[in-house]
Amino acid sequence: MSHKPEYFMYRALELAQKAANEGEVPVGAVVVFEGEIVGKGWNQPVSGCDPTAHAEIMALRDAARQMDNYRLIDCDLYVTLEPCTMCAGAIIHSRIRHVYYGAAEPRTGVNESICNLFAQPWYNHKVKVTGGLLAGKSKQVMKSFFSERRKSK
């Protein structure tokens, strides 16, 4: 079965909501190979006491285990927020083919916000990047999360 990119971003948004329900910043990600989700992740740095437990990293780890290979050739990553420097490095090293992300991240995003790390010529792997997929929904999940946190303080 062939799904449109929005289908996979909605799956990532469901995982972002899971992160929010666990008290984590609501970011979700899925890795897709041949039209099937092979990796899922959501932000878990607080609950896991792990600064590297961003949604993208967790999804890449899950996919690598499922595919029994750290190189995720011909895989695409859908994430609700523009990747940070750490996640961009992991995406490049894992050989992800295409990243789709929802909302821009003005403070730490490295595709359109503070720089374009994916476009640097020194990397031996080029990742195609498409931003703004369901950006409004991604922004709303973040806005709601932080609004609720402010209310509870």
| Active site residues per annotation | 56
Is 98 assigned a ligand-binding role in the annotation? no
75 in a labelled binding site: no
Give the span between the Cα atoms of 94 and 72, in whole angstroms.
Answer: 5
The CA distance from 91 to 79, in Å, is 11
Q: Does the annotation list 93 as a binding residue? A: no
Length of the chain: 153
The pair of three-digit structure tokens given for residue 153, joined into one six-digit string = 């303080």
Q: Could you tell me which residues are beta bridge partners of residue 130?
A: 100
Q: Kind and range of the H or E element at 33?
A: strand 28-33
Give the DSSP H/E element, type plus range, for residue 45. helix 45-48
Binding residues: 54, 84, 87
Residues annotated within a binding site for Zn(2+) = 54, 84, 87
